[in-house]
Amino acid sequence: MSDLIPIEDISEINPDVTCSTCRANCCKLEVMLITETGVPERYIKTDKWGSEVMLRLDDGWCAALDRDTHMCSIYEVRPLICREFEMGSFECQEERND
């Protein structure tokens, strides 16, 4: 058994999509914190079921989103699901189309 992490096929990723120009809804999705990545406490809240989730502001956007650049202000320690949600991927493009 190999300990290597498989590389995702990125051939379907749209190179025209960038986070700084997208303004999609992915940063409005509820993000559960299922692993410790180092997200600062000020960006974490506990939901009504006792789970830790990323804090969203009154307008629904993630509190860690830089509103001027539309880039993640905690990119190096962002949650696991944010790491798996590849810019320009099928999932990304689906959110853009919604």
CA distance 14 to 40: 31
55 pLDDT tier (thresholds 50, 70, 90): very high
Of 27, 43, 45, 42, the C-alpha closest to 81 is 27
31 pLDDT tier (thresholds 50, 70, 90): very high
- In contact, 13 and 88? CB cutoff 8 Å: yes
Across 19-23, 29-33, 46-50, least confident range:
19-23
Place of tokens 């992490």: 5
Of 55, 38, 39, 37, the C-alpha closest to 47 is 55
